[in-house]
């Protein structure tokens, strides 16, 4: 008698089981739609060059000559994972660059007002992996009731919704080896480059940042802050933006506060210390980002 097996059901079950406590975007192009919740938790780990993995930072790691690295974890309420509905609280483990992106979004738009699409660029264990974070839609009252809201005048406070926050210290202690598979931190990248010959092959550029023109309620969407792979030495002599393009971009950024304009702009192109050093190949992305940063923020609804 034939069995009642099903490859489709098996694959679906494995897909649903793959999340667990951590938000694991393990493949190139994997996406999730999340809301950042609560305050982040910081911990120190050691990078094992042989196994290409993180280990607890302890006396054994120091004795073995491991490189110390800082990891940042945060609660995220996931509404969609790889295109499938989830509606669960999970932990997103981040490196310095990704955490910087989240802080930029927090400072400019606040936490708890927007859902964001997080996209991984880089295969598993790829040291050039980056995470692109783009605004997806404004948070609705129904979503706020699920994952909660910030406590006014308390940057670390959070009013929990029906779905409680995860204890970050406890969760990361169980996953102390950094198994959440976020990108390798920048300090490890720099230390590794110092002990290896310089690359002669240009690094692939990260996907350009494009934000939706309008949010869920027709408001202008906030500009997207992203992380990008740092070009190798071979790209150092790449053609630069034209004077006309530089003038256009500076004209957009000059009226803005530095941290809300130039700093966010240059974070997208970490190889450049000023606008005129951005590569010509990134001109379209640079002008798009400058326009997004210069756009007025979405109007607050006083009756919301």
pLDDT in tens, 134-193: 888 999 999 999 999 999 999 899 999 999 999 999 988 876 544 444 443 333 444 444
Find tokens 């979004």 and name the residue: 105
Q: What is the pLDDT of residues 261-285, one digit of tens each?
A: 888 888 888 888 889 989 888 888 8
Q: DSSP label at 196?
A: S
Please give the sequence-ordered ranges of beta strands (E in DSSP) within the chain, or none if there are none: 31-48, 53-56, 67-81, 84-94, 114-121, 130-138, 149-150, 158-159
Show the DSSP H helices in 132-282 as ranges. 141-147, 168-174, 186-194, 243-253, 262-268
Contact between 26 and 17 (Cβ < 8 Å): no
CA 33 to chain centroid, in Å, comes to 11
Q: Mean pLDDT for the chain? A: 75
Q: What is the greatest pairwise CA distance in the chain?
A: 75
- Which of the 8 DSSP states describes residue 167? -
What angle (nearest 5°) sits at the alpha carbon of residue 217, between those of residues 259 and 113?
Answer: 45
**In this model, does residue 239 exceed pLDDT 50?**
yes
> What pLDDT sits at residue 204?
37
| Residue appearing with tokens 């906030």 | 222
Task: Work out the pLDDT band at 7, boundaries 50, 70, 90.
Answer: low
* Four-residue CA torsion sign, 213, 119, 180, 205: negative
Look at residue 2 in the predicted model and tell me its pLDDT.
55
Q: What is the pTM of this model?
A: 0.55
Mean pLDDT highest for which of 14-28, 52-66, 137-151, 283-297? 137-151
pLDDT recorded at residue 8:
63
Confidence band, pLDDT 50/70/90 cuts, at residue 32: very high
What is the topology classification, in CATH, of domain 20-196? Answer: Replication Fork Single-Stranded DNA Binding Protein (3.90.198)
Residue ranges per structural domain of the chain: 20-196
3-class secondary-structure state, position 132: strand
């Amino acid at each position: 008698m034939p069995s009642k097996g099903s490859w489709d059901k098996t694959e679906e079950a494995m897909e649903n089981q793959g999340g667990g406590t951590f938000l694991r975007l393990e493949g190139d192009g994997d996406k999730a739609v999340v809301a950042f919740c609560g305050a982040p938790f910081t911990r120190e780990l050691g990078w094992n060059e042989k196994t290409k993995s993180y280990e607890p930072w302890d006396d054994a790691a120091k004795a073995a000559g491991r490189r110390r690295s800082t990891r940042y974890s945060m609660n995220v309420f996931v509404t969609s994972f790889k295109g499938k509905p989830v509606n669960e609280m999970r932990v997103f483990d981040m490196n310095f660059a990704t955490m910087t992106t989240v802080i930029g979004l927090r400072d400019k738009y606040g936490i708890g007002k927007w859902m964001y699409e997080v996209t991984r660029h880089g295969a598993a264990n790829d040291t050039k992996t980056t995470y692109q974070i783009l605004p997806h839609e404004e948070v609705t009252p129904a979503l706020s009731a699920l994952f909660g809201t910030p406590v006014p005048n308390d940057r670390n406070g959070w009013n929990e919704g029906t779905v409680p926050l995860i204890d970050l210290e406890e969760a990361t202690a169980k996953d102390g080896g950094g198994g959440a598979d976020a990108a390798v931190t920048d300090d490890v990248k720099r230390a590794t480059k110092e002990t290896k010959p310089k690359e002669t092959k240009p690094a692939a550029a990260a996907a350009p940042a494009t934000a939706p023109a309008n949010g869920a309620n027709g408001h202008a969407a906030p500009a997207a802050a992203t992380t990008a792979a740092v070009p190798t030495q071979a790209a150092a002599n790449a053609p630069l933006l034209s004077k006309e393009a530089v003038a256009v971009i500076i004209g957009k950024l000059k009226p803005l506060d530095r941290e809300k304009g130039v700093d966010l702009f240059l974070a997208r192109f970490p190889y450049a210390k000023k606008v005129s050093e951005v590569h010509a190949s990134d001109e379209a992305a640079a002008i798009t980002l400058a326009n997004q940063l210069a756009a007025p923020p979405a109007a607050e609804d006083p009756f919301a």
